[in-house]
Amino acid sequence: MIRIGNASGFYGDRFAAVNEMLTGGELDYLTGDYLAELTMLILGRDLMKDPNRGYAKTFLRQMRENLALAVEKDVKVVVNAGGLNPAGLAHALRELATELDVDARIAHVEGDDLRSRAEELDLGQPLTANAYLGAWGIVECLRGGANVVVTGRVTDASLVVGPAAAHYGWSPEDYDALAGAVVAGHVIECGAQATGGNYAFFTELDSLDRPGFPIAEIAADGSSVITKHDGTGGAVSLGTVTAQLLYEIAGPRYAGPDVTARFDTIQLAEDGPDRVRISEVRGEPPPPDLKVCLNTLGGFRNAVMFVLTGLDIEAKAELIKRQVHAALADNPPAEIDWTLARTDVEDAPTEQRASALLQCAVKDTDAAKIGRPFSGAAIELALASYPGFTVTAPPSDASPYGVYRAAFVDAKAVPHVAVAPDGTRTDIAPAARTQQLTEVAEPALPEPLAVGPTRRVPLGTIAGARSGDKGGSANLGVWVRSEQAWRWLVHTLTVDELRRLLPETAELPVTRHVFGNLLALNFVIDDILGQGVASQARFDPQAKGLGEWLRSRHIDIPEELL
């Protein structure tokens, strides 16, 4: 098996993880995921300020400390830190290698950036427009002898699929092997989320203070074992792997540019301490279109958070609302939104627990209108409004916000170019065989559990959950750890029951997908995040806590499961 580690799950992850992975044990490849939908917007704004930027500068700093070590250990590094400027990052890395006197061969992959062709491809006028490329550009770079491969926007799993395909000589039609590597890549792409981070049952782990980063040991047939370096914190278990498998997915067909992986075929098994085997994954030809991440600047946003303490919370909220609306009546913002969080409790032992939070958020295309004129108007009411008036921050200026949407373009219309260390450019052909995505029929459900006495307790007493964002939608995966609990869950947690437990979803489109092989359900909740994380449409804009909210809700659970 080859050992492929991960040292970054997002732009801002643990800086020392690269060194920890290189020094903590044996590796063949080290990957790093630095990009997300929001990150592309951040990099796009960086590029507006300086055309030489647009990449994840953190990775360059990490390589200053670790490039020589990686070359010495013969660990190939594959990252998507190139963002909107992979050629620029590759150039900076070559300069760094010269400065450090390290014989490092740097290659990069480009072609995903479609900004200059946005109008031609009917994509509007976005700030960023990046197609999700696959693994074969990475494969070409590695076969050409690169020590470091930098990409722009490729699928997260491609960072793992590329090294595996290059090592084993897979062809583009080795669908099952590719699908297995996609699943392994999906598990380790988010770093410590596979080793106990954000894990629903975290209180069961011995040590989560500093979890290690994950490793995928991938075999020639695409099967894998997920593990971590010996002696590191956290844990790799059926639970931590299941949780990550359910992260940011939709239905059983997980589509990518190289292969569609069937998540309903995944089989998990314990393989020793901190080792989970993934096998039996089946793959299908990819769809003919590539997904494109589009970000635009939506305008400007500002907010004031009022603290309401003690008695008459609702009346205090109504008073300040009327006063703020009156103050803005001559030049009102395009959007104004109020959110009252009743965090207060009756007869509270502390002032903080006696207080509720009322947020007033405004949006407009004119930054001046909702800058100090807005927040200042709110503060001017300090001595003329509800008793106990206070806010959580002083007046502030407006800040820009982004709008995300996804589009799809024919893969044949998107260039995919591998640029070797010597500058040689190789065009990567799109998939020769494709297959349109279709829905998978819901599988036959197991017999319902014969329910005896029940107890009303939080759902999380027996069920784990993990949630996240995909544009304006959220996914919420829920799993249990026994066949008995599964027989209860799959018949109990319907779409209607989810809507009852989470009233915020009551009027939204919700789709349920059944993964009996994982004892899991996945719910896709459309429109709950508005125009995406950068629009800040919701208290939890990336839906990271949505699953934990669900787990905290009380439901009648059979006593035999408790």
3-state secondary structure of 374: helix
Q: What is the pLDDT of residue 170?
A: 98
- Tell whether the model's pLDDT for residue 190 goes beyond 90: yes
437-486: per-residue pLDDT in tens?
999 999 999 999 998 999 999 999 999 999 999 889 999 999 999 999 99
Q: Exposed (0-12), middle (13-18) or buried (19+): which is 435, by Cβ within 10 Å?
A: middle
Domain ranges of the chain: 2-293+406-427, 302-403, 454-561
Amino acid of residue 551: R
Confidence band (pLDDT; 50, 70, 90) for 37? confident
DSSP 75: -
Q: What is the pLDDT of residue 470?
A: 87
| CB 241 within 8 Å of CB 278 | yes
- Tell whether the model's pLDDT for residue 552 goes beyond 80: yes
- Tell whether the model's pLDDT for residue 537 goes beyond 80: no
**The tokens of 466 are what?**
């993990």
265-274: per-residue pLDDT in tens?
999 999 999 9
Considering only CA atoms, which of 21, 161, 24 is closest in space to residue 80?
161
Pick the CATH number of 302-403 from 3.30.70.600, 2.60.40.1120, 2.20.25.90, 3.20.20.140: 3.30.70.600
pTM for the whole thing?
0.94
Mode of pairing for the β-strands spanning 148-150 and 76-79: parallel
39-80: per-residue pLDDT in tens?
999 999 898 889 899 999 999 999 999 999 999 999 999 999
Q: CA 502 to CA 152: how far, in whole Å?
A: 37
365-409: per-residue pLDDT in tens?
999 999 988 999 999 999 999 999 999 988 889 998 899 999 999
Confidence band (pLDDT; 50, 70, 90) for 352? very high
> Residue 427 pairs with which residues in a beta bridge?
417
Q: CA 546 to CA 558: how far, in whole Å?
A: 24
- Tell whether the model's pLDDT for residue 322 goes beyond 90: yes
Mean pLDDT over residues 96-100, rounded?
A: 98
Q: CA 182 to CA 193: how far, in whole Å?
A: 17
State how far the alpha carbon of 258 is from the alpha carbons of 182, 193, 255, 415, 540, in Å: 9, 25, 8, 15, 33
- DSSP codes joined into one string, 153-183: SB-TTHHHHHHHHHHHT--TT-HHHHHHHHH
| CB 31 within 8 Å of CB 181 | no
Summary mean pLDDT of the chain: 96
